[in-house]
Amino acid sequence: MSATTSTATGAAIVGVAESDLGVTNLSILTLQTQAITRALADAGLTLADVDGIATTGVSRFSATQVADHLGLEPRWTDSTFAGGSAYEMMVARATQAIESGQASTVVISFASNQRSAASRRLGGVTEDHTPEAQLETPYDPLFPLSYYAMAAQQYLHRFGGTHEQLAEIAVAAREWALLNPAAYRYRAGSLTAADVTSSRLVSSPLTVADCCLVTDGGGAVVLTSLERARDLAKPAVRVLGYGERTTNTSMTAVRDLTSTGAVGSGADAFARAGVTPSDVDVLEVYDSFTITAALSIEALGFCGRGEVLDFIAGGRIRPGGSLPLDTAGGGLSYCHPGQYGVLLLVEAVRQVRGEAGARQVPDAEIAVAHGTGGILSTHATVVLGADR
User: What pTM was estimated for this model as a whole?
Assistant: 0.94
Span 65-90, average pLDDT: 96
- Report the share of the chain in percent with pLDDT over 90: 86
Find the catalytic residue in 87, 148, 242, 286. 286
Q: How confident is the model at residue 130 (pLDDT cuts 50, 70, 90)?
A: low
CATH number for the domain running over 11-118+212-386? 3.40.47.10
Residues 55/58/60/65 CA torsion (nearest 10 deg) = -10
Q: How confident is the model at residue 122 (pLDDT cuts 50, 70, 90)?
A: very low
Span 13-29, average pLDDT: 95
d(CA 84, CA 142): 18
Q: How confident is the model at residue 125 (pLDDT cuts 50, 70, 90)?
A: very low
Q: How confident is the model at residue 9 (pLDDT cuts 50, 70, 90)?
A: low
Find the catalytic residue in 87, 155, 334, 340. 334
User: Measuring CA to CA, which residue among 367, 295, 269, 272 is closest to residue 324?
Assistant: 367
Span 288-301, average pLDDT: 98
> What pLDDT score does 119 carry?
58
pLDDT at 4 over 80: no
Residue 242 designated active-site: no
> What pLDDT score does 281 carry?
98
> What pLDDT score does 129 carry?
55
Residue 286 designated active-site: yes
Span 137-144, average pLDDT: 80
Q: What DSSP state is assigned to residue 234?
A: S
pLDDT at 323 over 90: yes
CA atoms within 13 A on the CB side of 354: 8
Span 376-385, average pLDDT: 97
Could you give the angle at the alpha carbon of 85 between the alpha carbons of 83 and 89, nearest 5°? 120
